[in-house]
């Protein structure tokens, strides 16, 4: 499961890096379906980071890995 999630994050990463940010896998709880990620660089301090997290990262991951129910930044 972790590898599937990391592959999706690799697809998302270039668009975040283009804006000076990044995202890193922290952990995934298969029981709750919660994926924890760390927003890096500009994404860590951007006022739009919650929108990026929910409408960008979470939406894309849930589409490709349906076991993920929620993505949260830590």
**Domain holding 59: CATH number?**
3.30.300.130
Total number of domains constituting the chain: 1
Strand order in the sheet with 70-73: 21-29, 34-41, 70-73
Q: How far apart are CA 74 and CA 50, in angstroms?
A: 12
pTM for the full predicted model = 0.91
Q: Are 40 and 52 in contact (CB under 8 A)?
A: no
State the residue range of the domain holding 53.
2-73
Give me the residue label for tokens 């409408």: 55
Tokens at 49, concatenated: 């980071």
- Residue-wise pLDDT for 4-59, tens only, equals 999 999 999 999 999 899 999 999 999 999 999 999 998 888 888 889 999 999 99
């Amino acid at each position: 499961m972790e590898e599937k999630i990391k592959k999706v994050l690799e697809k998302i990463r270039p668009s975040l890096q283009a804006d000076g940010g990044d995202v890193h896998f922290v952990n995934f709880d298969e029981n709750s379906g919660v994926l924890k990620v760390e927003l890096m660089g500009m994404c860590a301090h951007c006022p739009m980071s919650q929108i990026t997290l929910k409408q960008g990262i979470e939406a894309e991951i849930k589409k490709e890995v349906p076991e993920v129910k929620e993505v949260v930044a830590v």
